[in-house]
Structure 1
Amino acid sequence: MSGNSALWGAGSAVAWGIGDFSARFSSERTGVAVTTFWMMFSGLCFTLLYMALDGIPIHWTLDRLWFLVIAGIGITSATGIFYAALTRGPVSIASPIVASYPAIALPISIVTGARPGLWEWVAMIITLIGVWIATQNKKITNDEDKYTKKYIGQTSLLALSAATIFAFAISSLDIAIESYGPTTSLLGVRVIGIICFIGWFFYQRQLPTAKFSSWWLLALVGLLDTIGHLFLYIGLDSEHGEYAIVASAAYTIITVILARFFLNESISKTQLIGILLVVGGIASLTVLPS
Structure 2
Amino acid sequence: MTTIILGFATSLVYGFADFFGALASKKIKPVTVTFLAGLAGLGFVSVMSLIFGATFSPGAWFWGIAAGVAAAIGMTALYAALAIGPISVVSPLSAVVSAIVPMIVGFFLGERFSPIGFGAIAAIVVAVFLVGFVPGEDVRLPSTRALILGIIAGVGIGVVLICVDQAPADSGLAPVILLRGMSAAMLGIFTLTAFMRARGVKQEKREPIPAKYWISVALAGIFDASANIFFLTGMRLGSLTVVSVLTALYPLGTIILARIFLKERLAKTQQLGIMIALLSSAILAVA
Confirm or deny a common fold (TM above 0.5).
yes
Counterpart residue identity of residue 16, structure 1: Y
1:170 to 161, 164, 171: 161
2:37 aligns with 39
CA distance in 2, matches of 1:63, 1:222: 25
Counterpart residue identity of residue 164, structure 2: L
- Structure 1: gaps of 5 or more residues: none
CA distance in 1, matches of 2:17, 2:59: 32
- Say if 2:8 is the partner of 1:13: no
2:119 aligns with 122
Q: Is the 8 A contact 1:177 1:237 kept in 2?
A: no
- Say if 2:179 is the partner of 1:189: yes
Alpha carbons of structure 1 residues 117 and 25: separation in structure 2 relative to 1, 3 Å? same
CA distance in 2, matches of 1:202, 1:193: 14
Q: What's the offset of the Cα at 1:215?
A: 1.3
CA distance in 2, matches of 1:153, 1:133: 22
SS at the partner of 2:111? coil
1:50 aligns with 48
Q: What's the C-alpha RMSD, in Å, of the aligned pairs?
A: 2.7
Counterpart residue identity of residue 220, structure 1: L
TM-score, structure 1 length as denominator?
0.83
- Say if 2:93 is the partner of 1:97: yes
SS at the partner of 1:59? coil
Counterpart residue identity of residue 9, structure 1: G
Q: What's the offset of the Cα at 1:123?
A: 1.5
- Say if 2:104 is the partner of 1:107: yes
- Structure 2: gaps of 5 or more residues: 198-207
Q: What's the offset of the Cα at 1:153?
A: 5.2
Counterpart residue identity of residue 236, structure 1: M
Alpha carbons of structure 1 residues 179 and 50: separation in structure 2 relative to 1, 3 Å? closer
CA distance in 2, matches of 1:119, 1:180: 34
Q: For 1:226-265, what aligned pairs fall within 5 Å after superposition?
A: 226-260=225-259, 262=262, 264-265=264-265
Q: Is the 8 A contact 1:32 1:84 kept in 2?
A: no
2:149 to 149, 153, 158: 158
Alpha carbons of structure 1 residues 230 and 83: separation in structure 2 relative to 1, 3 Å? farther
Q: What's the offset of the Cα at 1:29?
A: 2.2
CA distance in 1, matches of 2:88, 2:259: 12
Q: Is the 8 A contact 2:20 2:216 kept in 1?
A: yes
Counterpart residue identity of residue 57, structure 2: T
Alpha carbons of structure 1 residues 240 and 266: separation in structure 2 relative to 1, 3 Å? closer
CA distance in 2, matches of 1:47, 1:225: 10
For these two proteins, the number of residue pairs brought into alignment is: 275
SS at the partner of 2:112? coil
Alpha carbons of structure 1 residues 228 and 171: separation in structure 2 relative to 1, 3 Å? same
SS at the partner of 1:28? coil
Q: What's the offset of the Cα at 1:124?
A: 0.9
TM-score, structure 2 length as denominator?
0.84
CA distance in 1, matches of 2:77, 2:168: 24
Percent of aligned positions that are identical: 20
CA distance in 2, matches of 1:131, 1:235: 19
Alpha carbons of structure 1 residues 217 and 89: separation in structure 2 relative to 1, 3 Å? farther
Q: What's the offset of the Cα at 1:189?
A: 0.8
1:70 to 63, 66, 69: 66
1:60 aligns with 56
CA distance in 2, matches of 1:198, 1:136: 32
Q: Deviation string for 1:123-176 (max 9, x for gaps)?
A: 111111122233445x424xx4xx7656x6554443222101111222122111
CA distance in 2, matches of 1:201, 1:271: 35
